[in-house]
Amino acid sequence: MSLRRVLCAVWRWSWLLTLPISIAFVAWVRVTWQRYHTFRVEQATLEGFPLRDVGAMTLGEMVRHLEVAWTRAGDYRPLPALRTLDLHVPTVGLARLDADLPHSGSQFVEAVLGSGGQKWRAEVRYRGDNVYHWGYAKKSFRVKTKRGQLFEGMRAFNLIVPRTKELLNNYAAYRLAHRLGLIAPRVELVELRVNGAIRGVHVLTEQLDESTLRSQSYMPGDLYSGDAVALRAYVGIANDLFRYPALWEKQAANNHYELTSRAPLEALLAVVNAAPSEARHARLRELVDLDAFAAFSALEILSATIHVDTEHNWRLFYDANRGRFVPVVWDLFGWDASNAPDPGQGPRLDVLSSPMHAVLHADAGFLAARQRILARFFASGEHATFLQAISADMAAVQPAVERDPELTMQVRSVRPAAVVTAMQEMRQQIARLWQDIEDAYTRPREPVTYWRTERGIAFLLRDRVPITRVRLSLNQAARPGAAAVAWRRFGEQHQTDISASTSGHGTEVTIDVALSARHVLQIDSMRTFEVKVNRAVLRPAAYELLIEGVDPATVIDVRCERGGGAFESAVPGTPRELVDLGDVWRPVEPRAVRLPRVWRGRVELAGVTVIDDPLVIEPGTVVRLAPAASLVLRQRVLARGTAAAPIRFEPTDDKPWGVIALQGQDASGSQFVHCELRDGSGYKTPLFEYSAMLSIHDVRDVLLSHCHLRDSRIVDDMLHTVYADLRVTDCSFTGALADAVDLDISHATFERCTFEKSGNDGLDLMTASALVVDCIFRGCGDKGISVGEDSRLLAVRPKMVQCNFGVQSKDDSTAALIHAELFENKVAIDAYKKNWRYGHGGRVFAYNSSLLRNGKTATADKDSRVLLRDCQVDVAPPTAGQVVVDGHATAGPVRRDADESALLRHLEVQRDDR
Amino acid sequence: MLLPSAGLRKKLTNLARVVLLAISGLAALTALIFVKRPDWVDAFDARTVAAHTAATEAALLRVERAPPGQEIAQMQALLAELTDVRKGDRLAPGKRAAFVRLHGAQLANQAAGAALTTAHAWQAFDALDLVAKLATHDALLALPGRHIEAATVARELFAVAPDQQRFFLPHLQACLAAHDHAGAAQAFFAYLGVGGTPVGSDIETGWVLQRDAGDGFDPLSTEVLDARCGGDDLAVTFSPPPGSRRLRLTFPARAALTLTHVRFEVTTQSGTFEVNLRDLAHRTADPVSSRGLRLDGDRIGLDGDDQASLLWGMGPGSAATSTWTLRARCVREKPLWLDDVLGLEAVGVAGRALLASSAPGDAGARLRYLAARRAALLCSVVSVQMDDGPATTVPITANGSDAAQFRVTFARAEHAAVRLVMPAIACVDLQLRTPFSVESRLQPKSRMRLSEGVLRAAAPSADAIFELQPSDPSSIELIGELR
């Protein structure tokens, strides 16, 4: 064949090569130019979208699509270890979302969500502030279902595109947050299909709202969101969340206050901006849950993040019933390489990324709590368990990665192998980092030095591991008296009473006290991205231990526990002056011996009286409260009257007093016996509210026995508890303005109690459980017992007479009545669905009960059910609906269904517990 | 159907092959450039981006050079071109600049209605641009009969950022125009960042107590008292330290009011008794003396003196602990502090800015004002010692006098760093000259700026603290001036 013929053949068939190249090139040019022009030329986006990277990324994506089409054609079967979610969005809807990004993406369009063979009607839109959420082929979605069709208890959730090739940065951080007991959204790795086409791995992340709080056993309240970046950035002022309360939005609100009220947030910001002082830190502790913030800080350290900063990613929940802020974890973006400390600097052991962080790190109590949490995390083996779980997640997600057609991150098209490698490297990085953190926080590098002073024993502490307990060995027995720790700040000596932490046995004296080295904060910037340079540098701190009755000369050995439970000997050192602690506030936690106050005879109260000491009220005492006067008790109270000499709380005139309130865990174990309370109301401030004349907030093990409460006025309830457990025996509740007893997220036992003439309910449960034995509910304006919002009731021999409803159960709640008597009520038993946040209605199971002379015996809506087994009924309810009657009223047995079986199992457990 | 001839078909086929070959060649060339000459790609990238913004920048420049009268038309034309530009776009800053200029020009030309339209368009462009909202306020204020709407906008702006002067002043002026003295007072204190809750229209601060233990009145003994007001009833409580020979109670600066039914309630261990003004003179060794006020029976008249005060001797019984409460009824026309603001307004500037930058001759007056507000301007220089050395505190006081200068020296061998604590006082500048290079560790919110060794702190909202870590190995010397 001549050369000419060969050339002719090549020319003739050249299209076989040049046609696909041309098509691919034209497609490449079109897509590259479109992206480049939109996200580089027209918009100034975070990831830049330089032409070179966009071109390479587009080429990589085209190759990846070919590869997936070639190797995985038609393989859209669900994966064994990863859930697949299907979104069906009309093409016109997707076109509308893509029309003018990012602005067009924020408008919801109709869609259908599918999972596990079920379908939900929903709305979807794109979500996210930054371009990686909507700038690539794979998008982050916000999905919102219809109110009546919750998706596994959630109405709104996000399907978020992983930002980096490690994939798990946010997912793993949320998982870690759950293990540390923090409020964090529900999170799950899923594979997403949009209109049948695989879109790869997404992180299903619950959208924070009131339901998040309820699911984690918090009363709904103000949930503040601080994000002042990108399109949400203000112009004209610094976007400093801790300077301007107005920059925050509310994602959920306490409906007892104006929707626009930001009083708690304003109070917190006032503390953050206040001058450093002991008073600032006292106020800080009133306003924040220090342990929760310490856990949050521990999470930041463990996840190597600085992503929660002055400008964004803050979520703060104000728990009005505890009066404290709790951090909520959001978008930590853990273990991101771009935020890693500079080489040679070692791991970041303190995260100082906002003014809030700075204030917390100046508080020794916060530092001690964080150290405890980290030490416990490592000592319990939680870190190893977590790493195993992450390994399992990586294995589960790997098949989805291998068939993911859209592996594009940070303007790079990434190969599946690179993603798998990156995930494994991240896991190794976590393990290495945690080794360093464990070393720094739990393994002392230098021993504690001590020396004798004229008055006591002084310590010098140099490294991060604190002293948690001190044991002195003496050469003779001693009886330690009052004890204190002395320390210096800015040239002045201070002293903190720790007498309650000191105990002596023979020749040994033990002091439970936490003492830390000085943390000097080096804050160079509070701007986003620049905060990575901020650090806390450790400097030695010295403390002097002063114990009455212990002569320093008799001390022969000093040993210190440093968190681990074992004592190590302190090393004798050269006497020196106490080192100045500088900007470390509340360096020693005061623990003075609290002597109880005793009230007897007549006690007059006006205004608001807050008592921080234990209180004993003697029999026969009469506490007379002026109009609106309130008594807030933060320590245990023992009000034990007798039948002959009851304790009375009464008004000074015909105007109602405010509230008797037990507040906080330190009041646990309080008792009211033979007490009479009448004509009280409530107490409300801009920051918190007591909504009953006897209010019990966050208190355990409370006893009310032989107490009589009557005639509550102005506010809703007579007795209100939240986050509490209590036992109530032989008490009466008469003439409540609305509810006699209101239990929120509490557990209570009522025995032989009477509830009469309540304006509303006799007993109202919300996310609570109650055992009611031999109680009478008479003449209640609404329900005898209302069981709502995921509550549980077991009532044995209750009697409901002449109430509007005898028992009503709603919103995924269960009530079990045994040997109940329900007479002359308008409706004896009712069950229905009221709140869309709960997927189901109510359930009532009545056994061996009498339902006579009621207007209606039992009613239930389509989401609820009522079962009457072996009951005496004079008017048979219609049995065609959700009401099922077995026993005397109908023939034939009714098989137990799942609900009833669950109830019976629950009762078995309760019986075992008792 | 008419098919092309075989020759034509061949030509077309060949043409297609040529086109495909050319495109493929172009693809190869593109790939080659991306791989071998990425700098060309980057240059193209930069030029494309620059070209995109160049037109807008040029248009803005043209407007600057435009003859008077054409500026508005040109700016409107530019904005019409930028209609599709949204927040976050690369041209968004240019569009915003166009809004700023157009609005300013319209207001200058007394076209307030058009300025309002522009401001609304600006707000539609960026609802979170507070300057746009301020522009709306300015336009509304310039329109007759719209001042109530303007006041509403001013209040909303002030609620977002009360510490910003540009939002504070419109709100303050709106309050004053509406005779809302309580609102104005609240705004004033919020702006200064010193707290303060007005009760109705009663704002009484700046009662100052000083004591003489025998060596004259010590500025460091100065104590600021807060008055409680319920309606017109006034109560000022203080506890003279044991050993006080004389007390001086200075009334709020420039207070113009009359106090009636004036009496003192004195509580000691033996009980509570009442002392009226006449008794005050009789029961003590020294007679009551007064400055800048008129005593008439149980009435005290104040005519707006800067340091009106009441001075009396405590007598031999002063060693005992006692609590004194001045009770009176207050008759006045306006809250006390308003004099300051109104006085400042008279010269065209209000608030902190003027107080901080007033002429040197006014320094004493300003400090007296501060002294009345906060008793003393007390700065502490605290040296932070090396790991185990002692700390030192040097107080610097400027109390009701002219600028105070200080020089403090620490031995470097003993001191690692120097810390200066400045109290939260409104309206004060502080300059600190540090003759050494400084690595500063500024506390967040300190609102201090360090430049070329000179530290300038202007009116911190809270006690400001900074730490200096000098590199000089020998000693640390601070030369400062409170102005």
Task: Map residue A619 onto helix, strand or coil.
Answer: coil
What is the C-alpha separation between B322 and B335, in angstroms, rounded?
30
**A377 residue type, one letter:** F
Contacts of residue A741, defined as CB under 8 A and 6 or more positions apart, other chains included, come to: A717, A718, A719, A720, A721, A728, A733, A748, A750, A755, A762, A763, A764
| CB-count burial class (<10 Å; 0-12, 13-18, 19+) for A443 | middle
Residues of B with Cβ-Cβ distance to A230 under 8 angstroms: 88
**A583 residue type, one letter:** D
* C-alpha pair distances (Å), B371 with each of B190, B196, B257, B397, B399: 19, 17, 20, 11, 6
Paired sense of beta strands A197-206 and A156-160, if any: antiparallel
Please indicate whether, in this complex, the C-beta atoms of A491 and B392 are within 8 angstroms of each other: yes
Residue A813: which pLDDT band, with cuts at 50, 70 and 90?
Answer: very high
- Would you state the structure tokens that stand for residue A797, as one six-digit string? 């021999």
What's the pLDDT score for residue B467? 55
- Would an 8 Å CB–CB cutoff place A542 in contact with chain B? yes
- Would an 8 Å CB–CB cutoff place A33 in contact with chain B? no
Phi-psi region of A365 (alpha: psi -120 to 50; beta: other; left: phi over 0): alpha
What's the pLDDT score for residue A2? 82
What's the pLDDT score for residue B424? 41
Number of Cβ within a 10 Å radius of residue B371:
26
What's the pLDDT score for residue A900? 63
Res A760 pLDDT > 70: yes
Phi-psi region of A587 (alpha: psi -120 to 50; beta: other; left: phi over 0): alpha
Q: Helices A416-442 and A364-379 sit at what angle, rounded to 10 degrees?
A: 120
Residue with tokens 């609620």: B159
CA of A372 vs chain B CAs: smallest distance (Å): 26
Contacts of residue B464, defined as CB under 8 A and 6 or more positions apart, other chains included, come to: A275, B421, B422, B424, B443, B445, B446, B447, B448, B457
Task: Give pTM, 2 decimals.
Answer: 0.80
- Would an 8 Å CB–CB cutoff place A70 in contact with chain B? no
Please indicate whether, in this complex, the C-beta atoms of A236 and B126 are within 8 angstroms of each other: no
What's the pLDDT score for residue B366? 40
DSSP code of residue B67: P
- The arithmetic mean of pLDDT across residues B139-152, rounded, is 93
How many secondary structure helices (H) and strands (E) does chain B include?
13, 22
Beta bridge mates, A156: A144
What's the pLDDT score for residue B454? 52
- The arithmetic mean of pLDDT across residues A796-807, rounded, is 95
Residue with tokens 């003192």: B264
DSSP conformation letters of B228-280: EEETTEEEEEE-PPTT-SEEEEEPPTT-EEEEEEEEEEEEETTEEEEEEHHHH
Closest CA to A504 of A479, A473, A484, A485: A479
Contacts of residue A388, defined as CB under 8 A and 6 or more positions apart, other chains included, come to: none
What's the pLDDT score for residue B71? 84
Higher pLDDT, B354 or B115: B115
Contacts of residue B379, defined as CB under 8 A and 6 or more positions apart, other chains included, come to: B395, B396, B420, B421, B422, B423, B430, B480, B482
Supply the ipTM of this predicted assembly: 0.85
Contacts of residue A645, defined as CB under 8 A and 6 or more positions apart, other chains included, come to: A619, A620, A674
Q: Helices B92-108 and B130-142 sit at what angle, rounded to 10 degrees?
A: 20
Question: How far apart are the two ends of chain B, measured CA to CA in Å?
Answer: 99
CB B296 within 8 A of CB B223: no
Res A911 pLDDT > 90: no
Exposure class string for B288-306: b at 16+ Cβ within 10 A, else e: beeebbebeeebbebeebb
What are the contacts of A71-77 at 24+ separation with CB within 8 A? A72/A403, A75/A403, A76/A193, A76/A196, A76/A198
Closest CA to A791 of A810, A764, A769, A771: A769
Q: Helices A290-302 and A416-442 sit at what angle, rounded to 10 degrees?
A: 130
**A121 residue type, one letter:** R
Beta bridge mates, A235: B129
- Would an 8 Å CB–CB cutoff place A246 in contact with chain B? yes
pLDDT in tens, A768-786: 999 999 999 999 999 999 9
Task: State CA B248 to chain mean position distance.
Answer: 32
Task: Map residue A769 onto helix, strand or coil.
Answer: strand
Res A800 pLDDT > 80: yes
Closest CA to B136 of B160, B106, B161, B165: B106
- The arithmetic mean of pLDDT across residues A521-543, rounded, is 84
Residue B466: which pLDDT band, with cuts at 50, 70 and 90?
Answer: low
Residues of A with Cβ-Cβ distance to B20 under 8 angstroms: 14-15, 18-19, 21-22
Closest CA to A223 of A253, A247, A200: A253
**B233 residue type, one letter:** D
User: Most confidently modeled of A223-227, B177-181, B382-386?
Assistant: A223-227
Contacts of residue A617, defined as CB under 8 A and 6 or more positions apart, other chains included, come to: A598, A599, A600, A623, A637, A638, A639, A640, A641, A647
**A16 residue type, one letter:** L
CB A899 within 8 A of CB A843: yes
Mutation pick from A41, A520, A538 vs chain B, by most beta carbons of B within 10 Å, is A41
What is the C-alpha separation between B186 and B207, in angstroms, rounded?
19
What is the C-alpha separation between A189 and A394, in angstroms, rounded?
10
What is the C-alpha separation between B329 and B298, in angstroms, rounded?
10
Please indicate whether, in this complex, the C-beta atoms of B23 and A18 are within 8 angstroms of each other: yes
Contacts of residue A581, defined as CB under 8 A and 6 or more positions apart, other chains included, come to: A487, A488, A489, A518, A541, A587
Beta bridge mates, A705: A673, A729
What is the C-alpha separation between A29 and B442, in angstroms, rounded?
51
What's the pLDDT score for residue B283? 58
What's the pLDDT score for residue B299? 83
Residues of A with Cβ-Cβ distance to B159 under 8 angstroms: 246
CA dihedral B239, B240, B243, B245 (to 10 degrees): -160
DSSP code of residue B391: P
- The arithmetic mean of pLDDT across residues A189-216, rounded, is 91
Task: Map residue A398 onto helix, strand or coil.
Answer: helix
Cis peptide before A102 (omega within 30 of 0): yes
pLDDT in tens, A389-422: 999 999 999 999 988 888 998 899 999 999 999 9
Beta bridge mates, B291: B309
Residue B310: which pLDDT band, with cuts at 50, 70 and 90?
Answer: confident
- Would an 8 Å CB–CB cutoff place A56 in contact with chain B? yes
Task: State CA A746 to chain mean position distance.
Answer: 17
- The arithmetic mean of pLDDT across residues A550-561, rounded, is 92
- Would you state the structure tokens that stand for residue B155, as one six-digit string? 């209040």
What's the pLDDT score for residue B433? 47
- Would an 8 Å CB–CB cutoff place A538 in contact with chain B? no
Nearest-CB residue to A42 (from B90, B441, B442): B90
Please indicate whether, in this complex, the C-beta atoms of A22 and B387 are within 8 angstroms of each other: no
Residues of A with Cβ-Cβ distance to B34 under 8 angstroms: 52, 55-56
Number of Cβ within a 10 Å radius of residue A522:
15
Over pLDDT 90: what percentage of chain A? 67
The HSE-up count of residue A383 (CA atoms within 13 Å, CB side) is: 22
CB A712 within 8 A of CB A735: yes
Residue with tokens 């005060």: B309
Residue B264: which pLDDT band, with cuts at 50, 70 and 90?
Answer: confident
Number of Cβ within a 10 Å radius of residue B125:
19
CB B429 within 8 A of CB B457: yes
Residue with tokens 């409906």: A255
- Would an 8 Å CB–CB cutoff place A493 in contact with chain B? no
- Would you state the structure tokens that stand for residue A682, as one six-digit string? 């409530």
Q: Which helix (H) or strand (E) holds B480?
A: strand B475-482
Please indicate whether, in this complex, the C-beta atoms of B388 and A490 are within 8 angstroms of each other: no
Nearest-CB residue to B461 (from A41, A273, A583): A273
Res B357 pLDDT > 50: no
CB B87 within 8 A of CB B64: no
Nearest-CB residue to B384 (from A11, A28, A580): A580
* C-alpha pair distances (Å), A414 with each of A401, A409, B38: 10, 7, 20
What's the pLDDT score for residue A458? 93
pLDDT in tens, A816-825: 999 999 999 9
Question: How far apart are the two ends of chain A, measured CA to CA in Å?
Answer: 101
Nearest-CB residue to A539 (from B91, B160, B387): B387
What's the pLDDT score for residue B460? 42
CA of B164 vs chain A CAs: smallest distance (Å): 8
Contacts of residue B270, defined as CB under 8 A and 6 or more positions apart, other chains included, come to: none
